[in-house]
Amino acid sequence: MQLSNNLMDVFFGYNGRVGDVKGAKEDIAEFTQRAKSAESPEERERYAKAVEQLKTEILPKMQQEMEQLGKQLGLNSGQMGQILELDKDNKFVPNLAIKKSDTGVLSFMNSYESGSYYHNKI
């Protein structure tokens, strides 16, 4: 199976960001627990600051990047935040803005331009 470089970048970038968002949410839960159970006040404060920074600065940026990449792939809101996989025929999930040629090459239905987003009009 061949993927164009731009499509491959968007596909793997999106899947990477989904993992980053899930990992950040897990870290928030873990650090919240550690902030409650830490032995010293300094340690509790440090974990509480880390939780606040993750919630307000880091996670929103990662979610925004994930959503932008998802829009480029033509995902609808119900698919956003889920890892994309190829099915047994090496095709993406059915309603993505990607097509497979007779030779097995995957490409965007509309030509991809950096910075522009595909809008799935349903």
Predicted structure pTM score: 0.67
Tokens at residue 54, please? 């993750």
From CA 27, how far away is CA 31, in angstroms rounded?
Answer: 6
Cα torsion angle, 109, 100, 81, 78, sign:
positive
Q: What residues are paired with 107 via a beta bridge?
A: 99
Instruction: Extract the tokens encoding 120.
Output: 């799935």
Helices (H) and strands (E) in the chain, counts: 3, 3
Q: Where are the beta strands (DSSP E) in the chain?
A: 2-3, 98-100, 105-108
Question: What is the distance between the alpha carbons of residues 12 and 97, in angstroms, rounded to a whole number?
Answer: 16
pLDDT tens digits for 85-118?
765 554 554 445 566 677 776 666 654 445 544 4
pLDDT in tens, 70-84: 888 778 788 888 887
Report whether pLDDT(38) > 60.
Answer: yes
